[in-house]
Structure 1
Amino acid sequence: MKVPSIFDQLAQLTAAVGATLDDAAREKVIVALHKAANSLETPENTIHRYGHMNLQTASVKIGFDLGIFKLLAASEGGLTVDEVSQKTGADTELTNRILRFLASIDAVDEIGKDRYAANHVTKNLTEKMVEAGLSHYFLTASPQYQGLPAYLKKTNYKTPIDEVNTCFQDVWNRPNAYALFTDHPENLTAFNDYMALRRKPDLTWLSVYPVAEEAKDSQSDPDRPVFVNIGGGVGHQCAQFKEKYPDLAGRVILQDMPHSIAKALPTPGVENMVHDIFQPQPIKGAKFYHMRGVLHNHPPHKVRKLLEHIKSVMAPDSVLLVDEMVLPETGVSYDVASLDMTMMGVFASLERTEAQWRDTFRDVGLELVRTYTYMPLMYESVMDVRLPKVA
């Protein structure tokens, strides 16, 4: 039976309108199309779709290692198998089999016998961020995913709460990810490159939070800390804060472990301070304490300890800015649900809904005042958390 022409029309339509959609609309279209495709599956289709997912990632990693995607993207009319083989140095028969599989998963286009060309996905795969991200997932995360069923079975399917007894330790035989990265610099490079490249500098909490308005009553004392970035890495948040508010009075302080502070950005006006976030907070009475993506790296008991240290030094008008994902109660996206499962397997931690965040803060005597979302597609938000008002 001939495939109805409506599907050809649908392919043309999505290609035509794709460039005009914003991120949220594009995501809805992608989800709808996947659901439609999955609804047509036979049991055999479902086996192969799930069963070969690891093979897909492995084959893409081979494509990265050989430079196949960049070669095809740079060739206007495509390349033959022989040409790809000559340029990469790979055996011709092996090259043919690799390209054939990549074409079957739409990573490249087969445009004739033994001839392949770049498509939209191929061009995505030439992006540095995409290569770094997929390399990170293949090298570091995939082995953990393989070990997750056995780990959960061993623990009688209890939610992990101990950061030193997770699936990660079972798979890698290392105390934590930091020890793994020390032993495997290729894994660390992929992770660092992915984290650096995936951030969009124009989409930050500073685009939605009213810093100047909230800080105006704290400007009478120029020696008071105005912004303390806890666990801030090399200082990107401090640099962005100083760039947007150069005239705001008060000390701007970056805190992290020695290896990060040693590589801190040379931002004028930023004080770099070595500090273990699980030790008492040395900076008292700051206007803003800020953490980005810190709490989701730790299990609940460590989150509680960290929050208690901050609460103990907050002034009545201090604001704790918690920059994290705030999940909806229903319909969580595949990307974020995947991240939640990944964090569980590595750190015995989790991504939270607003209600879960509210409970987390309430348990240590803090109050979530308001949530400001700045990247809706990934639910990235900054939460304004304060000491409860005294009646």
Structure 2
Amino acid sequence: MSAPQNIPIPDAGKRVLSTVTLAPALGFVPIAVHFDLFGCLQDIGKPATARDVCDIHRRKYGDSDLSVPLANDALFLMGGLGFLELLPGDVYVANEVTKFLVDTPSAQHGAVHFTSEGLLGAAFLMRHLQDNRFRYPFQECDTPFQYAYKSMGNEFLAQEHVYSVMHHTGRLDSFNTFMTGKFGRWGTMPDRVRKLGYDLDGLLQSAMPDNLRIVDIGGGRGELLLELKATYPHLLQKENLILQEYNADIGVVPDVTEMEWNYKEDGSEQPVQGALLYSMAHVLHNLSDIESIKVLAKVARVMAPGSRLLIQELTKNAASATTHAAMIVMHAGRERTSAEWKDLAAFSGLEVTFEAYPPLGECVVEMRKLLN
């Protein structure tokens, strides 16, 4: 009788296996970032063991809780994810992804966000649906993320929005740093919208000086407004650029006019009336359809006939599917198609007047007030 032979796993099976086993490995990403393993490995500049990385780490940061076994497993798993190269004998070397992560600190903070808050929500997705008889879509503050804290017995955080949870757990400053550069950018905001055919130059140059106000709603640390100011220094000054935030960890942003506005609060209307341009970049994908309509309607009520609302989000397609999932489990939000943007506009007293959806990167959707 011949010896039994192993039957090779079909290619389809390999794809399924490699995908569904990602989650535990992703759980090691915050460890790698916390101990600066990418930076330490790149500092070595040649193949290194976990002990070599620990030695560099201690030289840079002093006494540490990082052990060689923990570093070894974290490095091995980062190699499995492609964030560095694995060599035989538990030896590791930096690659182009390692360099990118070291050179782009916002990307490391983003990696921690999606493998902390995002992974936590995903772990409780099915249980939340089962306990609620598969009621779907989720609503704000009633997502798998809040269900996770409820299951862990933290009733306070179970009632809080993701951003509030990050504030209370000391994670919000990291998230704000992520938003300053994300995972890299496709040029500046003016460059991006121009390439998609949006006539930002004509809009700004045709505006009357007393009407030239740009309001960035939920604009974080003001990167979008500062890019506009750098592109149009002859047109835009501090008084023209209004940053609206409700984020405890933003701090002072120079060269823009800061204004607090909690657009989620009932009865809190948009305080700036008749601005030329209202901007919402990577805000609405954090909101359910109901919450999106609420904030869009608040903006619509103060828009003048010549006002524009410019929305920038990821194009909804296969490339953004994983981000779409993250928005669902953390925020009850979603990426959206052209038809979905038009539905939101119609329910909010707006109409879509320009739209462009590149296959990769950020779409641009302009809305204007629907006039009777």
- Tell me if both proteins adopt one fold, taking TM over 0.5 as the criterion: yes
Hey, what's the Cα distance between the residues in 2 that align with 1:51 and 1:91? 28
What amino acid maps onto 1:164 in structure 2?
Answer: C
Q: Secondary structure at the match of 2:220?
A: coil
1:61 to partner: Cα distance: 3.8
Report the equivalent of 1:183.
Answer: 168
Unaligned runs of 5+ in 2: 1-8, 59-65, 151-156
Do the aligned partners of residues 130 and 157 (structure 1) sit closer, same or farther apart at CA in structure 2, a change above 3 Å counting? Answer: same
- The count of corresponding residues between Structure 1 and Structure 2 is 339
Hey, what's the Cα distance between the residues in 2 that align with 1:93 and 1:273? 49
Which residues in structure 2 correspond to 1:293-372 (within 5 Å)?
A: 293-327=282-316, 332-334=317-319, 336-372=320-356
Report the equivalent of 1:30.
Answer: none
1:107 to partner: Cα distance: 4.7
Aligned residues: percent identity? Answer: 25
Aligned residues of 1:323 and 1:383 also touching (Cα < 8 A): yes
Instruction: Kindly provide the CA deviation profile for residues 119-177 of structure 1, in whole angstroms up to 9, marking residues without a partner as x.
Output: 44444454434432222222222111100111122233332342122112111242111
Instruction: Kindly provide the CA deviation profile for residues 150-209 of structure 1, in whole angstroms up to 9, marking residues without a partner as x.
Output: 112223333234212211211124211122112211x32432222223252723255413
The Cα RMSD (Å) is 3.2
Hey, what's the Cα distance between the residues in 1 that align with 2:205 and 2:89? 69
Report the equivalent of 1:382.
Answer: 364
Q: Secondary structure at the match of 1:377?
A: coil
1:356 to partner: Cα distance: 0.9
Aligned residues of 1:233 and 1:264 also touching (Cα < 8 A): no
**Which of 203, 209, 226 pairs up with 1:239?**
226
Report the equivalent of 2:61.
Answer: none
Report the equivalent of 2:211.
Answer: 224
What amino acid maps onto 1:325 in structure 2?
Answer: L
Does residue 58 (structure 1) correspond to residue 37 (structure 2)? The answer is: no
Hey, what's the Cα distance between the residues in 1 that align with 2:90 and 2:236? 66
Aligned residues of 1:229 and 1:291 also touching (Cα < 8 A): yes
**Which of 263, 285, 310 pairs up with 2:274?**
285
**Which of 119, 128, 140 pairs up with 1:142?**
119
Which residues in structure 2 correspond to 1:73-88 (within 5 Å)?
A: 73-80=42-49, 82-84=51-53, 86-87=55-56
Aligned residues of 1:161 and 1:300 also touching (Cα < 8 A): no
Hey, what's the Cα distance between the residues in 1 that align with 2:74 and 2:369? 59
Which residues in structure 2 correspond to 1:243-262 (within 5 Å)?
A: 243-248=230-235, 252-257=240-245, 259=247
1:260 to partner: Cα distance: 6.0
What amino acid maps onto 2:271 in structure 1?
Answer: P
Hey, what's the Cα distance between the residues in 2 that align with 1:347 and 1:81? 37
Unaligned runs of 5+ in 1: 1-37
TM-score by length of structure 2 reads 0.77
1:41 to partner: Cα distance: 4.5
Q: Secondary structure at the match of 2:219?
A: coil
Report the equivalent of 2:94.
Answer: 118
Report the equivalent of 1:171.
Answer: 148
Hey, what's the Cα distance between the residues in 1 that align with 2:207 and 2:50? 67
Hey, what's the Cα distance between the residues in 1 that align with 2:93 and 2:23? 24
Aligned residues of 1:367 and 1:388 also touching (Cα < 8 A): yes
Hey, what's the Cα distance between the residues in 2 that align with 1:74 and 1:239? 33
Aligned residues of 1:341 and 1:350 also touching (Cα < 8 A): yes
Hey, what's the Cα distance between the residues in 2 that align with 1:50 and 1:262? 36
Q: Secondary structure at the match of 1:321?
A: strand
Which is higher, the Rg of structure 1 or of structure 2?
1
Report the equivalent of 2:63.
Answer: none
Does residue 197 (structure 1) correspond to residue 181 (structure 2)? The answer is: yes
Aligned residues of 1:261 and 1:272 also touching (Cα < 8 A): no
Do the aligned partners of residues 260 and 243 (structure 1) sit closer, same or farther apart at CA in structure 2, a change above 3 Å counting? Answer: farther
Aligned residues of 1:236 and 1:265 also touching (Cα < 8 A): no
Report the equivalent of 1:133.
Answer: 110
Q: Secondary structure at the match of 1:324?
A: strand
Q: Secondary structure at the match of 1:382?
A: strand
